[in-house]
Chains A and B, each alone.
Chain A
């Protein structure tokens, strides 16, 4: 009687383990798909971030800033007579 009960417990444990294994496998697949999606998203964002940094570098290039300042904003470097030195 006792022995049968023991077997039943073990059987139940084996069944439970099998179910959990199947469930874990399933979870793993789901998470793997999600991981791949996230990695793809990260790659897209990384590419975008790199592109934006390059764009910023191109827009802020000293040569361009100088050209815009001179031609579009009509700025010039103040000469000595236009400079007032403030005592610190």
Chain B
């Protein structure tokens, strides 16, 4: 009531003030209303877009890369999740008090970290450290520094290390295949990252997931044809030989004759795919596939096959290799000794250049070329491996007479170790050429008959003489098994001719010779020790690899007493 009493004596200026106040309130209300209409109606879309741009983000969900395994399921390459530390420099720049602790956790100098943050001051994203161990990630998380986040990435491990490095290859830090099967099958192995839309708060932490735009699809696993046990065996034998003979490099390939699968493929020098800091380019090459060389005497069995195929020669046909040399045009072909009169087996056993040249010159040019071409020389083996070499084999129309002779003992063409293995697998598989594969096969391929089975068997039988005590490679013999093979000691081509003192020691062989299961090629480049022959440098490596591999594969011995004579009867009758 007292208020009424006070208001009663209203005068003119009081009323005026009330009106003014009312007007001002009204005006303020109208201004607010106008502003509300402006924000809510007129600029609504623009503002929502701006807000979303600040808080809504599409983030990638990394996908798991497929595992690479050997034929028995042993892991060769595996991805495991790792945390990666990233920062938004714009935000982190405002909080320098966190820098010392952050630098300590990441094991980095504070000054270096500060320099990095300042250098990227105008960016919104910079990696601080990729792929950190879980405990470091935990400590970064616990620090809760503004503008610092953790992302999930994958780190790839290679448990077999240098043993399978050339075949498996590696991926870069972004999980993309760079070498080997990682590169060749990158699209198969690689997962498709997913995408999701999220809402982030001011500290860039995800507070809500709005929708999954695309689920991540993990990559597929890849099963190689490699048998890690044989791979390891081959690697160890090759490495020891390369070291012992102070060689520049070396390769070995083991092929399954019946399926065309590569069971082992090793090279020296090698490298550790888990630690590539000291990697040298030269060590990276899978020489067995990418490097070609003149195959030398290892071509002789194919010249003999051409001779048998022509019908003009039989295994006991005799060739006069006297006086140990042969003039062809302006060139002279030499043997190491004068071997006198030899039959075809003798030519292979003694590795007579003169004998095989005489045979090649007596045949039409096309016949030797036909055999070499049909067993796959001059054509890429088709593994799909990066940098796969096709080698070189010139067509017969371009041959001179001397080339016709030199091709028969392996000069004037170039082949890779894998091609050599594939060609010998034709002899091993009764004349059937199978496509080779580094991926495990569900069933053996049909292949094509490129040589008559009888010819392949005859050549194979002759090649058993090479490992006899009178042959060039008695050290390739394997106790319990019959072995067929051929040595090669190749002078390396250099600019302007052939080097006097640089050789390639080769041995190619198969076992058990009665019904071959495995073909193995050993190539040792520039042995620098006291000996450089294929029979003394490469053949022992072959022996080590195959004796182990035959045992691992449970291949029944075909010469159980360790004798030289073929004991097929013993096979049928058990241990007599």
Binding site for B on A (CB under 8 A): 28-29, 32, 35, 43, 46-47, 49-51, 53-54, 56-58, 60-63, 77, 79-80, 83-88
Contact = CB atoms under 8 A, between A and B. Distances in A.
16 contacts: A32-B209, A46-B81, A47-B80, A50-B157, A53-B75, A54-B80, A54-B157, A58-B159, A62-B233, A63-B232, A80-B480, A80-B557, A80-B560, A83-B557, A85-B575, A87-B572
Contacts of A32: 208-209
Contacts of A47: 80-81, 134
A50 B81 contact: yes
Q: Which 8 A-B pairs have the closest CB atoms?
A: A50-B80, A57-B159, A62-B232, A80-B562, A87-B574, A57-B75, A80-B479, A80-B480
Q: Provide the main secondary structure of the chain A interface.
A: helix
Contacts of B152: 43
Contacts of A35: 209
Interface string B95-125: 0000000000000000000000000000000
Nearest to B229: A62
Nearest to A28: B208
Interface string B551-563: 1000011001110
A80 B74 contact: no
A47 B551 CA distance: 37
Interface in B404-444: none
B293 to A, nearest CB: 29
A43 B157 CA distance: 17
Given A54-B157, A77-B551, A80-B560, A43 B81 contact: yes
Contacts, number: 67
Q: Most chain-B Cβ atoms within 10 A of its Cβ — which of A53, A62, A77, A88? A: A62
Contacts of A29: 208
A46 B74 contact: no
A85 B568 CA distance: 13
B160 interface: yes
A85 B78 contact: no
B228 interface: yes
B78 A50 contact: yes
A46 B79 CA distance: 10
A79 B557 CA distance: 12
Interface string B196-236: 00000000000011000000000000000000110011001
A87 B134 CA distance: 56
Interface in B131-150: 134
Contacts of B209: 32, 35
A51 B75 CA distance: 12
Contacts of B479: 79-80
A46 B67 CA distance: 13
A61 to B, nearest CB: 7
A28 B208 CA distance: 9
Nearest to A84: B575
Nearest to B573: A87
B56 to A, nearest CB: 15
Contact of B78 (A43, A54, A61, A79): A54
Contacts of A50: 78-81, 157
Interface in B48-86: 64, 74-75, 78-81
B36 to A, nearest CB: 22
A32 B207 CA distance: 9
A24 B134 CA distance: 35
Interface in B528-576: 551, 556-557, 560-562, 571-575
Nearest to B152: A43
A74 to B, nearest CB: 18
Given A46-B81, A85-B571, 4 more contacts: A47-B134, A80-B557, A83-B480, A84-B575
A56 B69 CA distance: 13
B75 A54 contact: yes
B354 to A, nearest CB: 38
Nearest to A63: B232
